[in-house]
Chains A and B, each alone.
Chain A
């Protein structure tokens, strides 16, 4: 259908068309999404292929120094006249080999203890040491005591810490990745200086090279330290948690008192089907999380725009005063305002119910409504602030021409203001929606997920629990780390897929009907 057909339609037809094209757009967006994934996979493997090709051809075309640097790092640089650089590369290699022998290999070997082993080397004259495990992370050393009535195996409590082994294993992998990057850089630089010398030029001296870190390679200087810390305290914990989802690390397998084991996809199966109550709980909480995210996002969005419009209306005075009143509520730290709200609304001891002598069940029977309304109270000032700025950006002549055409205030709002802000804020809306899926504060401080309902919910989940608050409770109160890890992964998948599809769709709709 082209533009002319669209213009000729009546209002109703246009509405039907829009709704229809939204829903028919979903498969296309999904298709684009998978196409994008396919594209990235293809690019990834092409990238690997290219890399291997270059890696090999550098070796083939390299002189003795370059070839040698594939085995002894830095030898290429040294033979090509860059002594200090070569020594640094060599030192890196030595350090890595030393690290692997003393530290890395130990943890890699213990990441999966496959069978019961009796280590002869550990057998003592009087006591025998057994090391055992069945798919466990780490080893537990048992002592064999020869008594009068035979042999007894006792736990001597010399045991690995599964947490430590898993962590150091991941750390070893990360360090290996960094080392491989340095290794490749070593072969590249050896080849490049070889080419440079072949052209008759002199390679950079060490001091000159150091200076490039303040200029051409300044990004390395700026990024190295922040990225290393991110790897240590963000990437490492995330990988650790992902691995946890495939173990039985929970309250019965607490490190360091007990080892935990690899269990494959058992935990995922529990959440999806094999444990009826858990999977029902997950379903209920997921549905409520999505309902909550939808209402929390759009109620704030619409009300925030309306408040901003009211304040920014031409003849309204004291704009600064009105705005500041709302901003104050946003400015007070959320844990304070939300705790105040809980104290005001509590069913029995709440200030409102006590003052009026009632016992309205704000936080039990009506909890789901209450959290959405309190979220409006919390969130509207933010939306108001953001849309206030945008309202001033809307070109005034749009309104003027609308007024000349006889549009009233409501029409101006639905035809100009709302579409404009909606268009500009689509990325922000998607962000807020994803943010609301992870909105921890409102639920945690107001109801702590309650009211609890053990007949329908497993693991002490309650009717207002979101996936994130459930995750928090599982981690903090129940030490059910394996389940918490599964939930965390699922939240990530939901957020990632959701925002990718949404971005795809908003990109598509932008191309089709440009806002003018």
Chain B
């Protein structure tokens, strides 16, 4: 092969590569536009001057009134909904995180006779569709006189937490066992090992667990919609926003819905973007190891 044909080939190769790169950029740009358009539309509509679903794709004017409506209109007590959700989220976050860490530590690093059985039971319980037993849970809460109450919601969310051990267990599995053994030789009890050695090493998974359990109540609609029925002063944000779109409200509150949705989506989005790497590690953690 002589020199000139080699440079020609190189130039041709470079041109081809540039062409594919440009193609990739174009495809990615188009996709990003498609993917971001609905969210952009939501944000723009929240500043729109009309109240109903606009006949134009882009806003007719600019106003912050709908953000004010959220906190002033007694028909849509957005502030109350936020407080309700926040209360439920904080308490169920604390209890659930504790439970998840306890269960996953026990199932991951302690060896006892019924361990395999418990893991299998967890797997089987996880296969029941989550809201199959909605009516039954409601009946239990009725007997405890906690139906439609925020405290009942906290109890139901936290009590089910024990089943969500997979991600944290996957993390604990990766911590070398020699650490426990060394500590045990030094005379540490398993209780001490848990608090003094394992937990400080597991900050990322503690943060991840706390964040996911905190975010759960903000995004749940299914269970809470059955649980609260029409008890409006105990609505969570998801229920309240959904209510704004029913036939009686949509023409007056559509743009207010957009404003409310933007307000809660912003912090949640930021939290998710921060913790995305934990999410990936959680889902693929078991898979990569094989």
Contact = CB atoms under 8 A, between A and B. Distances in A.
A310 interface: yes
Interface in B227-245: 238, 241-242, 245
Nearest to A336: B261
A35 to B, nearest CB: 17
Given A235-B125, A336-B42, A226 B99 contact: yes
A228 B165 CA distance: 16
B222 A438 contact: no
A491 interface: yes
B287 A425 contact: yes
A386 B41 contact: no
B218 A226 contact: no
Given A230-B160, A385-B279, A390-B288, A340 B41 contact: yes
A164 B145 CA distance: 13
A329 B35 contact: yes
A236 B143 CA distance: 14
A334 to B, nearest CB: 6
A63 to B, nearest CB: 26
B137 A386 contact: no
Interface string A479-496: 001001100110110011
Contacts of A484: 132, 135
A418 interface: no
A225 B140 CA distance: 19
A335 B221 contact: yes
B140 A223 contact: no
B39 A241 contact: no
Contacts of A441: 221-222
A393 B21 contact: no
B160 A233 contact: yes
Contacts of B245: 339, 343
Contacts of A330: 272
Interface string B54-65: 111100000000
B21 A316 contact: yes
A471 B133 CA distance: 10
A439 to B, nearest CB: 11
Interface stretch (A14-22, A106-114, A127-135, A214-222): A214-222
Interface string B76-113: 00000000000000000000000100110110001010
Contacts of A344: 38, 41
A337 B38 CA distance: 8
Nearest to A385: B280
A27 interface: no
B288 A393 contact: yes
User: From DSSP, what is the main secondary structure of chain B's interface residues?
Assistant: helix
Contacts of A495: 127, 129
Interface in B151-168: 155-156, 158-163
Contacts of B53: 343, 349-351, 354
A33 to B, nearest CB: 15
Nearest to B258: A340
Nearest to A488: B132
B276 A327 contact: yes
A1 interface: no
Interface residues of A, number: 92
Contact of B159 (A163, A232, A468): A232
Given A227-B162, A237-B137, A475-B135, A222 B102 contact: yes
A163 to B, nearest CB: 5
A355 B28 CA distance: 26
B268 A333 contact: yes
Interface stretch (A81-89, A139-147, A258-266, A318-326): A318-326
Given A331-B268, A340-B261, A381 B131 contact: no
Interface stretch (B67-75, B169-177, B188-196): B188-196
Contacts of A425: 284, 287
A471 B283 contact: no
A333 B219 contact: yes
Residue among A223, A310, A350, A440 with most chain B CB within 10 A: A223
Interface in B1-26: 17, 21, 24-25
A332 B265 contact: yes
A293 B163 CA distance: 24
A488 B241 contact: no
A135 to B, nearest CB: 20
A217 B103 CA distance: 14
A315 interface: yes
B284 A222 contact: no
B105 A492 contact: no
A488 B35 contact: no
Contacts of B208: none
A190 interface: no
Contact of B38 (A311, A326, A340): A340
Contacts of B54: 351, 354
A327 B28 contact: no
A496 B125 CA distance: 10
A425 to B, nearest CB: 6
Contact of B161 (A226, A327, A333, A481): A226
Contacts of B118: 223
Contacts of A468: 129, 131
A329 B162 contact: no
Nearest to A212: B189
B264 A428 contact: no
Interface of A: 163-164, 167, 211, 214-216, 218-219, 221-223, 225-227, 229-230, 232-238, 240-241, 244, 255, 307, 310-311, 313, 315-316, 322, 324-337, 339-341, 343-344, 349-352, 354-355, 377, 381, 385-386, 388-390, 393, 424-425, 427-428, 434, 438, 440-441, 444, 468, 471-472, 475-476, 481, 484-485, 488-489, 491-492, 495-496, 499
Interface of B: 17, 21, 24-25, 27-28, 31-32, 34-36, 38-39, 41-42, 53-57, 99, 102-103, 105-106, 110, 112, 115, 118, 124-125, 127-137, 139-140, 142-143, 155-156, 158-163, 189-192, 194, 218-219, 221-222, 225-226, 238, 241-242, 245, 254, 257, 261, 264-265, 268-269, 271-273, 276, 279-281, 283-284, 286-288, 290
- In the A-B complex, the 10 residue pairs with the smallest Cβ-Cβ separation, listed nearest first, are A488-B132, A331-B272, A237-B133, A237-B136, A226-B162, A233-B159, A214-B191, A240-B136, A229-B159, A331-B269
9 contacts: A230-B160, A233-B156, A234-B159, A237-B133, A240-B136, A325-B36, A329-B38, A340-B39, A340-B42
